[in-house]
Amino acid sequence: MKTKGNTYMNPYLAGFLLGLVLLSSFYLTGRGLGASGAVKSVVVSSVATVAEGHAMKSPFYSKYLEGDQKPMKAWLVLEVFGVLIGGFISGAVSGRLQLKLEKSPKITNKKRIMMALIGGALFGFGSQLGRGCTSGAALTGMAVMSLAGYVTMMAIFGTAFALAYFFRKNWI
């Protein structure tokens, strides 16, 4: 490997360590990891700030605003804030901090940005419908052997594999 310093950890070791993080989350708090829930908190609090009446009337937003729940102080928000800092520390340690738009040389920057936006929107929408994303539903769900976790995991990876051919230009 003659790469310029950006060597990654052995994937099996990384997986084992990630498993330990997951396990400590179960042992300490009884819940697994998550990510999309924090993004939702951001959306819910923004909507509630901009249009409070609208948010309280909506059957979706009001679920997360009832009582004295403060979405921005929620557990997942703090956890994802940790992800941000943890990722930054790791990037700094391994010398990977760099503003960069990653894409296949076959597509333009504009197309990559459009694709990222659309992909993000699809993932955001799907994670709400599926009650969790790859971390919250699939990874955590698999560790506790929940049927929902395995079904969601297979739906995510199955679809991605099935559609991979049509989007090959984006990546290879």
Partner 1 sequence: MGPIVPLFYIPEELNLLIAFLIGLGFGFVLEQAGFSSSRKLAGMFYGYDITVLKVFFTAAITGMLGLLFMNYFGMIDMSLVYLNEYYMTSAIVGGIIMGAGFIVGGFCPGTSVCAAAIGKIDAMYFIGGGLVGIFIFGETYPLWEKLYNANYLGMVKLSDSIGVSDGILALIVIVAAVVMFWIGEIAEKKFKREDISNEI
Partner 2 sequence: MNARIVLSILIVSFGLVAAILPQKQNSSIQLDAAQLLYEIQLRNHVISVDEMADAIINNDPYYQLIDLRSPEEFQTYNLPGSLNIPFDKLFTAEWAPYIDQVARKNVFYSNGSTLANEAWMLTRQKGMKNNYILEGGLNNWIATILTPTSPESTFGDEAINSFQARLGARQYFSGESASSASSANNAPRKPVPAKKKTKVAGGCS
List contacts with partner 2 (CB under 8 A). Answer: 12, 29-32, 34-37, 40, 76, 127, 131-133, 135-137, 140-141
User: Which residues have a Cβ under 8 Å from the Cβ of 73 and sit 6 or more positions away?
Assistant: none
Residues 136-165 that bind partner 1 (CB under 8 A): 137-164
Residue 52 near partner 1 by CB under 8 A: no
User: Which residues have a Cβ under 8 Å from the Cβ of 74 and sit 6 or more positions away?
Assistant: 37, 38, 41
For the bound state, the minimum distance from the C-beta of residue 36 to partner 2, rounded and expressed in Å, comes to: 5
Q: Which is nearer to partner 1, 23 or 49 (CB)?
A: 23
**Residue 67 vs residues 54, 61, 62, 108, 131: alpha-carbon distances, Å:** 17, 13, 10, 48, 22
User: Which residues have a Cβ under 8 Å from the Cβ of 153 and sit 6 or more positions away?
Assistant: 134, 137, 138, 139, 141, 142
Binds 155, which of partner 2, partner 1, none (CB < 5 to 8 A, cut-off by type)?
partner 1
Q: Which is nearer to partner 2, 7 or 104 (CB)?
A: 7
Q: Which is nearer to partner 2, 37 or 55 (CB)?
A: 37
